[in-house]
Structure 1
Amino acid sequence: MISFAEIDKANDGDYLKLLSAVSMLSGLFSESLVPFVNYRVAENIFCRSFKAENLSRSDTAFDAKINSLGIGLKTFTCSKDNSIEKVAEFNSLSRVLKEFKGKDLALKLGEFRNERIKLANRIYDIEKSLYHIVARKEKELLLYETDYDFIDLENIHSVKENKASLQFEDGLHFYSFNYSKSTLFRRFLIPSKAYRLPIEIIDDPYAVLLDLLHNKEIIPAVNRFAKGKNYVILPLYGRTKNEKFVFEKSGLNQWNAGGRKRDVGEMYIPIPIEIHKKYPNFFPNREMVFNLQLPTGEILNAKLCQENSKALMTNPNNALSDWLLRKVLQLKEGELATIEKLDKLGFDSVIISKMDNENFKVDIMKTNTYIEFCQDE
């Protein structure tokens, strides 16, 4: 299996150097001799060093992508030769999961977990996948790769349950599901041949920071991810006070509307009027064509349509449905998109990122992201 640590060492790259530098400053956060490396920092270092596409914001099964290789990035503390770590959250499916117990619950968790992996494979054109691990121990980091397996539904055994959790195995791995957090964990074994990166934590990291300020010209960071300027979140559903629903005759299901004859691929992404009111300069004017890049890299021609510019559509219109309805949601022609289908896959919104007035990107976002976007003022 590919070893990113060995690749970086052989090419005198930045990955091991940056991990070492961040780890040496652990005294800013803890008195422990176990290096402190925030998982987001580890993800950013990995993507910067290996020119990987950072997928962490979309919260799909993978954190990074290099060509057709999907990568899950894990950073955790370990004192033994293994650690049990989170691999999936099923908050949007908690009501469904409460209906199952024992092996039936294990099977349902396996089904949902596998569907999430397949979803990410479809969205990003992933052909192979693996986990890259940064395990933190006293005075060192252990770096290694391991498999990114589906759960083997036909081999689930050793099912045990108590008031707090369910445990099971599938012949490959041990899994644990926490009821209260609707979170699935997997045991990661640390191989004896893991790459060992020695770390000497600096005794006085504050002196290093002061020296940096005195001897370096500081270039202020630019906010490249400003809400309403560089991105907006759009819901794929409508909602009342108590529930969310996918419109049966508009939005994703516009093909199902009455009146004139409709194409089976006719659909649009709804744009709530609040988005236009709060961020009037984000989208181009109505009917102005712009580029919309899919997560696969494919670029579509898009524009805003209908009254109050409430619809994001592509030309041809079925180009958007080929991606979202057929490839991502895997709906057959004539099959309605539903909130239950979105919940099962773990997303109900999309993020539109703005490069400039003529170039935009779209990606999926996890369940309730639009609600959080509206509340985070």
Structure 2
Amino acid sequence: MKSFAEIDIEKNGNYLKLLSAVSKLSGLFSESAIPFINYRVAENIFCRSFDAGNLSRSDTAFDANYNSIGVGLKTFVCSGNSSTEKIAEFNSLSRTLKDFKGKELALKLGEFRNDRINLANRVYDIENSLYHIVARKEKELLLYETDYNIIDVANIHSVKDNKASLQFEDGNNLYTFNYSKSTLFRKFIIPQNAFRLPIEIIEDPYSLLLELFEENKDLKSATDKLVKGENYVILPLYGIQKKEKFIFERSGLNQWNANGRKRNFGEIYIPIPSELHKKYPTFFPKRDEDFNLQIPTGEIFSAKVCQENSKALMTNPNKALSDWLLRKVLQLKEGELATIEKLDKLGFDSVIITKSDNQNFKIDIMKTNTYNEFNQDEE
């Protein structure tokens, strides 16, 4: 495919214009001649300009979904022709990884990294993938695309180990794993034919802002921001016992395994903590009232809050939720228990529910410990 710079130029779009405009305001944050662009700003500009789905909130392997192409967006300062950048964190797996060394560790990192890429492919129906890079140098931006390959585990070689890190290659890229941060890095090479966007940083951006808001007093305020308990909540896929996470063996994601009557393998629900109902009693519709629940691929399920104390989020048919969450996302076979170890390996343990109105909701996966952070903010 054509580069995103070429696509933007051909359609006379706003991508390069917005990157340039934000870069010109670098004086707000730095005195350097190197343009400053916050990575979240770069992601939002890309998604707005190319009408791409913004995946950054779920912290999945990709930052954007452009026509079923998973896009990893990177912006970094580069003084030479390469830069080593973070591509994945494995904090939730640090206890597992500490048992491996050398090539065995490289193989395990490749396995975990590939699992998370494949998870994102399944959740968002990704068919191909690439990295879009915005490299920042003095008075210019260099834009280019490069591969977003899974790690070729069978071809891992040139493994070098020291106290601080592990380095290895797979025939395509050079990777470095930082022990203390449980973080995987990759070396990105800037090609000679990268698109160059000249940047002149404004000397006094503050005066420009004052003029802008003085002349445009009627600028609209944002109305679609996420407000906790008002248009979004986080639900954990686990419970806590003796300060340890676990997935209920006979309820929740494993409701199909409950004692008593014979149950269908598709019988599951997402637990809704009682404290969430107490804090946000009007977020969900009343018990047993149907509403629409859209999954990341755009498919819409009929859902409802049910069971005693409205403790369960279920779909009708219930198999729709299990087919998506257990079979497609977690890739569990019928009769295979969901476990916290499985979630940790994939890097998520909760879901976000966003609300448009009382009849329309969306669901997406969220990275490990998101519910804990959501809950702590309230304390």
TM class by smaller structure: over 0.9
Alignment of 1:22 with 2:19, yes or no, is no
CA distance in 1 between counterparts of 2:4 and 2:48 reads 13
Aligned-residue offset at 1:376: 1.2
Q: Which residue of 2 aligns with 1:327?
A: 328
Q: Which residue of 2 aligns with 1:4?
A: 4
Q: Which residue of 2 aligns with 1:252?
A: 253
AA paired with 2:209? Answer: L
Q: Which residue of 1 aligns with 2:121?
A: 121
Q: Which residue of 2 aligns with 1:271?
A: 272
Q: Which residue of 1 aligns with 2:223?
A: 222
Q: Which residue of 1 aligns with 2:131?
A: 131
Deviations 1:220-253 (A, max 9, x none): 3335200001100000000024200000000000
Q: Which residue of 2 aligns with 1:289?
A: 290
CA distance in 2 between counterparts of 1:272 and 1:242 reads 16
Structure 2 unaligned residues grouped into runs of 5+: none
Q: Give the secondary-structure state (helix, strand or coil) at the position aligned to 1:120.
A: helix
- In the alignment, is the contact (CA less than 8 A) between 1:24 and 1:199 conserved in 2? yes
Q: Which residue of 2 aligns with 1:237?
A: 238
Deviations 1:108-152 (A, max 9, x none): 000000000000000000000111100000000000111100100
CA distance in 2 between counterparts of 1:219 and 1:116 reads 39
Within 5 Å, which residues of 2 pair with 1:1-377?
1-217=1-217, 218-222=219-223, 224-377=225-378
Q: Give the secondary-structure state (helix, strand or coil) at the position aligned to 1:332.
A: coil
TM-score by length of 1: 0.99
CA distance in 1 between counterparts of 2:131 and 2:242 reads 40
Deviations 1:180-212 (A, max 9, x none): 110000001101100000000001111101111
Deviations 1:275-307 (A, max 9, x none): 100000100000100000000110000001100
CA distance in 1 between counterparts of 2:177 and 2:208 reads 43
CA distance in 2 between counterparts of 1:338 and 1:371 reads 18
CA distance in 1 between counterparts of 2:161 and 2:151 reads 18
CA distance in 1 between counterparts of 2:242 and 2:231 reads 29
Q: Give the secondary-structure state (helix, strand or coil) at the position aligned to 1:60.
A: coil
CA distance in 2 between counterparts of 1:213 and 1:313 reads 47
Aligned-residue offset at 1:10: 1.4
- In the alignment, is the contact (CA less than 8 A) between 1:238 and 1:247 conserved in 2? yes
CA distance in 1 between counterparts of 2:242 and 2:70 reads 38
Aligned-residue offset at 1:342: 0.4
Regions of 4+ moved over 6 Å: none
CA distance in 2 between counterparts of 1:311 and 1:275 reads 12
- In the alignment, is the contact (CA less than 8 A) between 1:119 and 1:328 conserved in 2? yes
Q: Give the secondary-structure state (helix, strand or coil) at the position aligned to 2:57.
A: helix
AA paired with 1:185? Answer: F
Q: Give the secondary-structure state (helix, strand or coil) at the position aligned to 1:12.
A: coil
CA distance in 1 between counterparts of 2:125 and 2:256 reads 26
AA paired with 1:184? Answer: L
- In the alignment, is the contact (CA less than 8 A) between 1:23 and 1:36 conserved in 2? yes
Aligned-residue offset at 1:85: 0.4
- In the alignment, is the contact (CA less than 8 A) between 1:2 and 1:145 conserved in 2? no
AA paired with 1:322? Answer: D
Q: Give the secondary-structure state (helix, strand or coil) at the position aligned to 1:168.
A: strand
CA distance in 1 between counterparts of 2:60 and 2:163 reads 29
- In the alignment, is the contact (CA less than 8 A) between 1:52 and 1:65 conserved in 2? yes
Q: Give the secondary-structure state (helix, strand or coil) at the position aligned to 2:76.
A: strand
CA distance in 1 between counterparts of 2:50 and 2:213 reads 29
Deviations 1:2-39 (A, max 9, x none): 30011101111000000000000000000000000000
CA distance in 1 between counterparts of 2:98 and 2:246 reads 21
Aligned-residue offset at 1:213: 1.9
**Identical amino acids, percent of aligned pairs:** 77
CA distance in 2 between counterparts of 1:112 and 1:5 reads 32
Aligned-residue offset at 1:68: 1.2
CA distance in 2 between counterparts of 1:276 and 1:358 reads 18
Residues paired across the two proteins, number = 377
Say what the alpha-carbon RMSD is for the aligned residues: 0.8
CA distance in 1 between counterparts of 2:44 and 2:57 reads 11
Aligned-residue offset at 1:97: 0.1
AA paired with 1:337? Answer: A
TM-score by length of 2: 0.98
